[in-house]
Structure 1
Amino acid sequence: MSEKKSWLILSHGFNMDGRASSQTITDKIPYLLEAGIQPIVFSAITGIQDQRFPHRRFLAWGPAAFRFDFRHWIANQYGRGFIYKLLTRTVSIVLAPFIGLEKLILGYSSQWSWAMPAFIHGLGLVRSGKVDLVFSTGGAWSAHLAGLWLKKWTGIAWIAEIHDPLVIRKNPNDQGFEQPKNRDARFRHYLERQLTKYADHVWWFTDGAVHYAKVRNPNLNTPENAHGFMVLPGAEPPGGVTAEKPHRYSEKLNLCHFGSLANDRSLSTILNALVPLLEKYPVARDHIQVHAYGAALDPLTIQAIKTLGFNDVLLAHGRLEKDPITGKSGREQVLEKMQEADVLILLHGNDEWCAEYIPSKFYEYLWTGRPIWGITHRNPQLDQMLEERGAYLSQEGDAIGIATALERIWLDWKQQKLHQPLGSPMGVDQAVRKILTEIQWQS
């Protein structure tokens, strides 16, 4: 594969500010360019047009995906004010019956239909000899579906990067063989089998994900099928800033969480752990604040705030997007807030899929120079990385252990001796080197 230089990159969410699925591929681009690769990118219209290389953005052909993409495109063009609300509500009303019909007939996740324009336009490029390799990455599985179609129709070299497991297991004894009733989940089962059969190379982001993929697909890593391996994605410094900001202790112990929340990944875990701490150290009530950035609060957190009376303890800041006044991107603002934190909270979740998943925020946290408090679930690989970096570590579901860790953080903060992170951040350069080595690329 050493002669290949032009890559068609299929990424539904390319150049979407603050999106993990976007950052995973956009952060790789400088290193791919440095390696002599000439990218041509296909994405949805949700991301910003890239000027460094050909970047074509396509509307999805299905109504649900069209609505999703349209909302983000309007937000990029006009912000989320009156025009955004008017246009998006109008489009939602018009498309509602068609979305219902699409869901009834197919039942797939909304972005599936983006695969169609990506395939049609990609087919023209491949047949004209303008690309030598197709690289699908996601995020949305529509990119992999388009890559599969291009492979089957043309035989072109195809490599695939799986962000989150396509097959979601239910418990430790579930290997993922059972065909689910949900049609989208059934299709993802099918797509994983096709990836391991037809892709030239495919990789996942955790040891657990590779392990279970091999269990379900024993053909993986056989001569006739895909070569599968693990890559730690890493991250570039949020906002492009590499210098660590000196930390200053204030009158508040600021515990900060960044990213999405849900009932299986809830800040109620932290709020409930505050109860025994405040019983033991009542003065802590006036000195601890929990900050949530990047997402709406989950129902369990909202309920815990009401039940425990913690309205002044947990502050929800929402999603940080580009500031039209300062010109700072969402990532730049996120970095500033991360560096202001006393401790960064890493919530792993409590689902079985945690065994195959590491939150992408972990890699960004490493760049901030701030202590991390990881609350993890069934993932020895993540636990080891946290321990190696001197993080505070708790196990999901262990209420006593979580409360003990919070007390340790409180006492360390009072003495101004919070854990100093060990080791170096994990950049994206190491991920690109691993990929190029595995696929035997030489510039």
Structure 2
Amino acid sequence: MKAKSIAQQKNWLLLSHAFNMDGRAASLAITDKIPYFLEAGIQPIVFSAITGLKDERFPHKQFLAWGPAAFRFDVRHWIANKYGRGFIYKITTRTVSILLAPFIGIEKLVLGYSSQWSWALPAFVRGYFLIRSGKVDVIYSIGSAWSAHLAGVWLKRATGLPLISEVHDPMVIRKSPQDQGFEKPKNRDARFRLYLERQLCKYSDFVWWLTDGALHYAKVRNPNLNTAGNATGFVVMPGANPPGDMHCKSHHQYGEYLNLSHFGSLANDRSLSIILKAANTLFAKYPDARKHLRVHAYGAPLDSLSLEAIKQYDFSDILLAHGRLEHDPDTGKSGRERVAQKMQEADVLILLHGNDEWCAEYIPSKFYDYLWARRPIWGIIHRNPRLDKMLLERQSYLSADGDDVDIAMALERIWLDWKQKQLLKPVWQPIGVDQAVSSILSHLAQEKAAL
């Protein structure tokens, strides 16, 4: 009798540290897939941290991590969800941080791993007994926190059940085009991620990455990938679902200001300072632009380079930081719905790719949300031809990260297009999540010798 493929096994244990966290990219990458898995007959049981909202559609178990650093992280988010970020949040989180500080110091000194590692412990223990009770057919580990993959590997080795793994961010961060990722990192967390990548390629039945570049370098480091008895590796383009009514066509109106909006995290290697530098060049050539250009930052604090640029150019009125958009009790809109609204209100959406070598293996998750907004995108991209191609196919402004002249020229073009009310009209080609689930199930339907 022919064994069932993994796709025909319907009881799946989903290991996802971030699940149902409003607006969190790592959460959306799996929660957006859930309706399509349910439609395909998958019966999920979800293990996650307590940082998100509990899902009532299926069994959803939420665990506190057992390590002090992750415990502090999880408690902060749980209190914010339950009481908001007011007085109770400030007092409670400060107290917890003070009490745990010595234990966190010991944890970092002894192990040196990223904080969420210890969530793997309760996930493994509870998962093991659940599997032994006969309620699980397939183990599914989901990034980005690698603790989910660690728990998945442990459960696979302890029970022998099929393991499928979804790797969001590259687990090995290369430093240059010549660096293949073989060198043993000095950082202990990086060393463990290199080890864990090898474990996934050895013990998973199927493992997928989100870009061709990420899969390519994983194959270089793990030649056993796609060989008999080891993991089958492939690429899945994650896509995104339209939040709220973003799928409806928005009617853009030109106003007094040219509004450039960035959504998501910022850092010194992904900084709005390059936009402010280009704006300074623009204002020297077109002084009137100073009155009309506004750059909006949503979702994260400003990075240090952006703060320095604001002071250097006296641009406190140009770059406006709005912080994280969360659930609004007055309107009932979720943080994700509020973000969608602000996206559609923008004249141009800024997509900062970063300037690290790993950008060759990475496409910002925000890109897929942007595609639903029907607004032109200005992508500032580093060594990623596929992302360049997708942007150009959809009528976007495009610059090379690190090329100040190119960035300044792109901003000048945007300014002149806006003045003439002729900003690029993006081609309507969003990428949904349905194609991702279809691709996953299609690969899982393949026969595996181990089954």
Q: So what's the TM-score if we normalise by structure 2?
A: 0.97
Q: CA RMSD in A?
A: 1.0
Deviation at 1:325, TM superposition (A): 1.4
Aligned to 1:176: 181
1:289-336 CA distances to partner (integer Å, 9 max, x unpaired)? 000000000000000000001111111000001112111110000001
Please say if 1:84 is aligned against 2:123: no
Please say if 1:332 is aligned against 2:327: no
1:235-271 CA distances to partner (integer Å, 9 max, x unpaired)? 0113353102110110100000000000000000100
SS of aligned partner of 2:278: helix
Aligned mate of 1:138, from 140, 143, 146: 143
Aligned mate of 1:201, from 177, 201, 206: 206
Aligned to 2:68: 63
Please say if 1:211 is aligned against 2:216: yes
Please say if 1:166 is aligned against 2:153: no
Letter in 1 for 2:197: E
SS of aligned partner of 2:185: coil
Measured in 2, the distance between the counterparts of 1:79 and 1:45 equals 15
Measured in 2, the distance between the counterparts of 1:208 and 1:388 equals 20
Deviation at 1:86, TM superposition (A): 0.4
Aligned to 1:363: 368
Measured in 2, the distance between the counterparts of 1:240 and 1:197 equals 43
Measured in 1, the distance between the counterparts of 2:245 and 2:441 equals 24
Deviation at 1:280, TM superposition (A): 1.1
Confirm or deny: 8 A CA contact 1:10 1:42 kept in the other structure: yes
Confirm or deny: 8 A CA contact 1:244 1:367 kept in the other structure: no
Letter in 2 for 1:346: L
Measured in 2, the distance between the counterparts of 1:367 and 1:415 equals 25
SS of aligned partner of 1:238: coil
Measured in 1, the distance between the counterparts of 2:203 and 2:296 equals 45
Aligned to 1:317: 322
What is the correspondence of 1:45-124 to structure 2 with a 5 Å cutoff? Answer: 45-124=50-129
Aligned to 1:352: 357
Confirm or deny: 8 A CA contact 2:8 2:445 kept in the other structure: no
Deviation at 1:128, TM superposition (A): 1.2
Confirm or deny: 8 A CA contact 2:207 2:234 kept in the other structure: yes
1:77-136 CA distances to partner (integer Å, 9 max, x unpaired)? 000000000000000000000000011111100000000000011111111110100100
Confirm or deny: 8 A CA contact 2:22 2:52 kept in the other structure: yes
Count the aligned residue pairs. 442
Moved over 6 A (4+): none
Aligned mate of 2:18, from 2, 13, 20: 13
Please say if 1:222 is aligned against 2:222: no
1:372-431 CA distances to partner (integer Å, 9 max, x unpaired)? 000000111111111111110000001111011001101111111111111420000000
Question: Percent of pairs identical after alignment?
Answer: 71
Measured in 1, the distance between the counterparts of 2:248 and 2:231 equals 40
Confirm or deny: 8 A CA contact 1:6 1:132 kept in the other structure: yes
Measured in 2, the distance between the counterparts of 1:208 and 1:288 equals 36
Q: So what's the TM-score if we normalise by structure 1?
A: 0.99
SS of aligned partner of 2:22: coil
Aligned mate of 2:46, from 16, 41, 44: 41
Aligned to 2:425: 420
Aligned mate of 1:285, from 258, 275, 290: 290
